Structure 1
């Protein structure tokens, strides 16, 4: 497996590029065909390689999908601990938002973002109707991250959101007022970024996550 990864690096292959055939890899790496097949199978599971029946193997997307699947399974296995795993995911999301504060505020300062404003308005509208707004929420955060042009950070944020969305339905619905407050906090985040006010940004992030964290800290009704 490591030999194939080294091959990809040495030949500067990119996502979608074809790998040599099994026979060619065996000759190049000096290993057996069964070893190559086993390595390809493991790399496929990690999204490093993508195998297509009848077409061969190609360099994969190298996404965070395997991480997502692992954490979703872990959350399911941790069901006996209430919302512990989901709370940890929320803490990671909050840490990411706080950690990028300086760069994000610097990048967005002085701009205007009508599309993100509409996204927040849509969140608030859905919250007032008692509806969830997962799609609008992730679109807002990814919209902010576009300013940083950091592909890995965007993928990590999307991964954390996918885990939250998958595990989240087990969480009881937040009160309407709490949901509206969380939606409104996104306006405060965007206000702070556009003004270039880092302290306001940090305060808005805290406001954004506080209601959800409070909800997660309450006893799991399934266990009471």
Structure 2
């Protein structure tokens, strides 16, 4: 019992796990603390970063929040971790500013439109590369994602998840590492918008299906037209809807 009590005394104190509404604020606080630490200590690429326990102690965040924040940073290639080596910096911490923006509880309406505008511009700019590099396996995967999206069209959150997979796959086909990385960076942000999504409409279904079908038929002209129709529709829709969406944001 004494050993157990001593071990507990050494464990860093932390707040209970954050509720869903507090998670974004918790991540922002952790990212801010890490950014300040990196600046204050002039941390360079390859240098070690504080341990999970130290971050918990300094930020007073729960272990689950700290681990999730580290997982996000690792997925984005900003840090890496090993069991015996700990955590170290592998990419510029300036990217934390963007991550913190994407993790804010209340994202400005104009940023929502800008995020979708960026994705539309990225996909349109890479149309030729997507068509040129798409393999039969890639096209089959896109078709499978699309069919899952239609299958769950009455479940807004589920079909929205498949929609995000669909767009990530389009960019992944190009093999462009920067484009892929930026898409992955924005992906968690698009996930938060599922709460505003309604059932899959016939129009949205048709737009996605035309993209897949034109690739299956290897029809370049039809593919470019489908991509333009989908993305220009998305931009026009965003301009009309973001303000009303954000009015209902908690």
TM-score of the aligned structures, taking structure 2 as reference length:
0.56
Aligned residues: 182
Matched, 1:126 2:152: yes
Moved more, 119-128 or 210-219: 210-219
1:17 alignment counterpart = none
Shift in Å at residue 215 of structure 1? Answer: 5.0
Instruction: Tell me which residue corresponds to 1:69.
Output: 99
Alignment of 1:9-24 (within 5 A): none
Q: Which of 138, 162, 169 is the matching residue for 2:164?
A: 138
Aligned position for 1:103: 129
- Which runs of no fewer than 5 residues in structure 2 stay unpaired? 1-36, 50-69
Give distance in 2, aligned partners of 1:98 and 1:35. 37
RMSD of equivalent CA atoms: 4.0
2: distance between equivalents of 1:94 and 1:145?
11
Higher relative contact order (CA 8 A, sep 6+): 1
Q: 1:204 aligns with which of 212, 215, 226?
A: 226
In the TM superposition, 1:143-154 aligns within 5 A as 143-154=169-180
Matched, 1:159 2:185: yes
d(CA) in 1 for partners of 2:79 and 2:119?
28
1:173 paired to 2:197: yes
Q: Report the secondary structure of 1:127's partner residue.
A: coil
Q: Partners in 1 of 2:97 and 2:203 — Cα distance?
A: 31
Question: TM-score w.r.t. structure 1 length?
Answer: 0.61
Contact 1:189–1:201 under 8 Å retained in 2: yes
